[in-house]
Amino acid sequence: MNLHPNTQAVRIQTSRTNEQEHSTPLFLTSSFCFENAEEMKAAFAEENDNNIYTRFSNPTVQEFIDKICALEGAEAGFATASGMSAIFGTFMAFLNSGDHLLSCSSVFGSTHTIITKYFKRWNIEYSYGDIRYPETWEALIKPNTKMIYVETPTNPGLDIVDMEWLGKLAAKHNIILVVDNCFATPVLQKPAEYGAHLVLHSATKWLDGQGRVLGGVVVGQADLIRELYLFCRNTGPALSPFNAWVLSKSLETLDVRIQRHCDNAEALVKALEGHPKLNWIKYPFHPSHPMYDIARKQMTRGGGLVTFDLKGGVDSGIRFMNALQMLSLTSNLGDSRSIASHPASTTHSKLSAEEKDAVGITPGLIRISVGLEHSGDIINDILQALEKS
């Protein structure tokens, strides 16, 4: 049967063992046994598909990868211990000394740190395109540009990159296009459809959805994944089978969860519209978003993250955070529980005013990861905290 990706996210499962379990088994093992030396020799020669060692492959981890491949429409994948190991592994597997990366300053903070602080150790160059002026990006491509790396929507700016345009640009110059699809998830957008060669995730966020485990995954073109696999099986960022089991179970409910996160985010945006304490609200599917048309073109819905800017700046942000009664103050997103964060006083506090401006962090910016609680409770908590901000 030709199954819909959402059905595959529910139904893909490691072959049933002799115990006849219904729920998927967990292969919490470091290594795998062989019947005899010949079989072992063949496994090492890659003449059969036997698992050897969990740093290379594991059935529970593979189940998680297979589901993400189905959801993203990708040929193959590799799962890692965190989103950052997926990103770092991707950079290291494909970028050589002397290569150039084209990216954008609006990428996740640790990704920005790898690019700006560590790349020089390996003589890897980079350029950042300005997300507001995509027409300026092509001029940044050099003969040694090997990879284009973007995130859309961005964290925490919620800016949008036009993937159709970027896919064409990467194809024209024969450059590997990598998209961090963490914020949208494959429920809301599938970058491979626009020409992304590799799509990666911090599985720690919406894919888990309950704030329990760290994980990462890269999926895409089989030949590229093979290169990534060979790099990772030797350098060791493998995903734990336990975390893979948790993540695989989470994917059974990904679509329904994301739809409800979007419902609640839309209700919140509506309740905040025109609020006197706010300069603006930002949400990909709100007509005031500067890239609204692009968001509508490439996403099915606006996602579970909403940002707004408090008129009172940093102090107001701190008062807002302190006044919240239900929302969690925690450094994560994509949880069933709603989360508030204030980048200017936390994650981005060390950035200069200029740097903050470049990535859209205003002093009063609040990011809400809208959870699965009753929308009225989320809205009421935020409205009462706004009164005290």
Q: For residue 126, what are the β-bridge partners?
A: 101
Of the listed pieces 8-16, 33-41, 81-89, 264-272, which binds ligand PLP according to CB under 6 A?
81-89
How many chain residues bind ligand PLP (CB under 6 A)?
A: 13
Distance CA 21, CA 165 (A): 47
* CA 333 centroid distance within chain: 11
Residue nearest to ligand PLP (CB): 83
Minimal distance in Å, beta carbon 199 to ligand PLP? 12
Amino acid at site 124: I
Interactions with ligand PLP, residue window 90-109 (CB under 6 A):
108
Residue pair 214/244 in contact by the 8 Å Cβ criterion: no
Minimum separation from the CB atom of position 216 to ligand PLP (A): 6
Q: CB within 8 A of 318, min separation 6: which ones?
A: 342, 345
The span from the CA of 60 to the CA of 18, in Å, is 16
User: What pairs with residue 79 in β-bridges?
Assistant: 217
- Binders in 312-341 for ligand PLP, by CB under 6 A: none
Backbone angles phi, psi at 38, to 5 degrees: -65, -45
Quick check: 151 binds ligand PLP (CB under 6 A)? yes
Does 180 participate in binding ligand PLP (rule CB under 6 A)?
yes
Contacting range for ligand PLP; rule: CB under 6 A; set: 158-166, 175-183, 246-254, 276-284: 175-183
Of the candidate spans 138-146, 178-186, 291-299, 317-325, the one that interacts with ligand PLP by CB under 6 A turns out to be 178-186
Which region, left, alpha or beta, applies to residue 260 given φ > 0 means left and ψ of -120 to 50 means alpha?
alpha
Q: Does 294 bind ligand PLP (CB under 6 A)?
A: no
Identify the residue among 60, 145, 185, 202 touching ligand PLP (CB under 6 A): 202
CB half-sphere exposure, 215, CA atoms < 13 A? 29
Site string for ligand PLP, 212-241 (x = CB under 6 A): --x-x-------------------------
Where residue 148 falls (left for φ over 0; alpha for ψ -120 to 50; beta otherwise) is beta
Told to check if 160 binds ligand PLP by CB under 6 A, we report: no
The binding site for ligand PLP (CB under 6 A) comprises: 82-84, 108, 151, 155, 180, 182-183, 202, 204, 214, 216
